[in-house]
Amino acid sequence: MQFTHLMKLKLQFIILLLSVLLSFYSCKEKCGTIHEYPKEFTDYWLFDKGSWWIYKLENQDVYDTALVTNVIEEITGPETPEEEDPCNRHYYVYLKHSSEFFYGIQYSGIQSIGSYTKFAKDIDYYISGVLSSRSVIYLLYPFYFNTERNDVTTLDTSLMINNNFYTDVVLTIDYNNHSYFLVKNIGFARYEFADSTVWNLVDFNVKPYK
């Protein structure tokens, strides 16, 4: 009788082990293909730890340094039941601002950026960046060229800052009417806040995320 009970326990353990293994390989096979963000999109905001930017408050001798302190990569399952491909790769980028005068930053000094998929019917990918409760950045992809829509990201052609000419610029305006200019392979180049304060890029050193 004791032998029979022991055999039952062993059988239950084997069944449990098999079910876990089958579940593991099923999930692995299910995640065989992972949605990757287009490089045309990540070139504007995904930079590795140690990247930095220096900004100057327009018409004042005040500077701010933004430093990437951490990048977290995560793979998740489907975000909507309709998705055919079950897995998505996401990134979370954290920047530390040095200036207490940088808009909305004085409480924590942290600017966070998270990436997501399926924002709307005609938006495949987006990032949501938070400066404070008063400033939430949305960068939506694909970019739209010369459009008056306020629910998409506009692709501009150029930007002039302190006699520096930048091309491949995108402009996004948040719900509080703050404007953010990002340059391909550089990142945030200009912050125009609704209270008329403007921060311009003066120097940078970026590391592409690998």
Helix (H, G, I), strand (E, B) or coil at 85: coil
Is 80 exceeded by the pLDDT of residue 149? no
The whole-number average pLDDT for the span 44-54 is 94
Q: How many CB atoms lie within 10 A of CB 152?
A: 20
pLDDT of amino acid 202: 96
- The region of weakest confidence among 20-24, 42-46, 119-123, 202-206 is 20-24
167 in the Ramachandran plot: left (φ > 0), alpha (ψ -120 to 50) or beta? beta
> What's the pLDDT band for 184 if we cut at 50, 70, 90?
very high
What percentage of the chain carries pLDDT values higher than 90?
A: 22
Chain centre to alpha carbon of residue 13? 43
pTM: 0.74
Cα distance between residue 43 and residue 35, in whole Å: 17
Cα distance between residue 189 and residue 169, in whole Å: 9
The whole-number average pLDDT for the span 186-205 is 92
